[in-house]
Structure 1
């Protein structure tokens, strides 16, 4: 058991060191920026997919989706179980990505020495449903254009470090631990 706690402490120390040094893999920075740009589209897709599945079930079977889920055997004739399962898995995966991004955003909000500034940069540039242009964000932050772009890069770097250096490895460890428990 002590070995287990030592391993956790070692990982947390390494993650803190990475965050302090702002060491970031360029691929992680790029991927983080892409995830942030897709955030609202993924939310839209999740909400829209539920409606599409509901409409498809209603059209093909004359039943609502919750009725079909209650009695999936009846739906087999009309809606491919594998197709429904695949769509629901896709929605679940997308929701997990959104949860990770939201959790990283909360952690970014409490990042020391920035007074939530990095949080607001990421939130206003990528997360908020109301589109903010660069000038709106610069006015909100009360800074120069150069400062905004420098801080935006720093915010994405720290966000990326939280996501790829802390949350995703933690998630993978949890999944490995669950796999070991089931074995």
Structure 2
């Protein structure tokens, strides 16, 4: 999970040109599922650990952890909580930016479907399958994919990430 978090640090950079922004946007989308699953697994592990410590009772786990856990263990646990929260906020921003594409007046649902089916959905579809699903040619698919990435970049780096700046760094 830490490796994936390090890759998401890329989102904090300032961008100077459209190509760089597009590359960072595509990277954010490509990292979405691996980071999502790593975060989910980490949260499940933390939950299982808490249940084990508290013998099935979360309130008891909290008390036991607070009173008896060594400082290093508390520090590591809280650090893990912070990393998971950071990852969750970034993932939420990515998902929200993709979702905003649906509202775009022209081809918005196509843009949403393209990015969702290529990057967000666990059931990845190929470009050809998405073109078929949308009943468009492959050429049109690639044009709309490029436009979808451009609009996603605006949503993510123009609105979503700036909203988090005061909170995350």
Q: CA deviation at 1:25?
A: 2.7
1:128 aligns with 2:135: no
Partner of 1:26: 19
Alpha-carbon separation, structure 1, partners of 2:74 and 2:44: 17
- Indicate conservation of the 8 Å contact 1:37/1:126, yes or no: yes
Q: 1:76 aligns with which of 54, 69, 82?
A: 69
Alpha-carbon separation, structure 2, partners of 1:113 and 1:83: 48
Q: CA deviation at 1:165?
A: 1.3
- Indicate conservation of the 8 Å contact 1:104/1:159, yes or no: yes
1:110-147 deviation line (CA, Å, top 9, x unaligned): 01212411111111111111121222111111112121
CA RMSD of aligned residues (A): 2.5
Partner of 1:140: 133
1:110 aligns with 2:84: no
Worse-superposed segment, 116-125 or 72-81: 72-81
Give unpaired runs (5+ residues) of structure 2: 1-15
Give unpaired runs (5+ residues) of structure 1: 1-22, 177-183
Could you tell me the TM-score, scaled by structure 1's length? 0.72
Q: CA deviation at 1:106?
A: 2.2
Deviant stretches of 4+, over 6 Å: none
Q: 2:153 aligns with which of 160, 163, 175?
A: 160
Could you tell me the TM-score, scaled by structure 2's length? 0.77
Larger Rg: 1
- Indicate conservation of the 8 Å contact 2:101/2:112, yes or no: yes
Alpha-carbon separation, structure 2, partners of 1:126 and 1:38: 9
Instruction: Specify which structure has the bigger relative contact order, considering alpha-carbon pairs within 8 angstroms and separated by 6 or more residues.
Output: 1
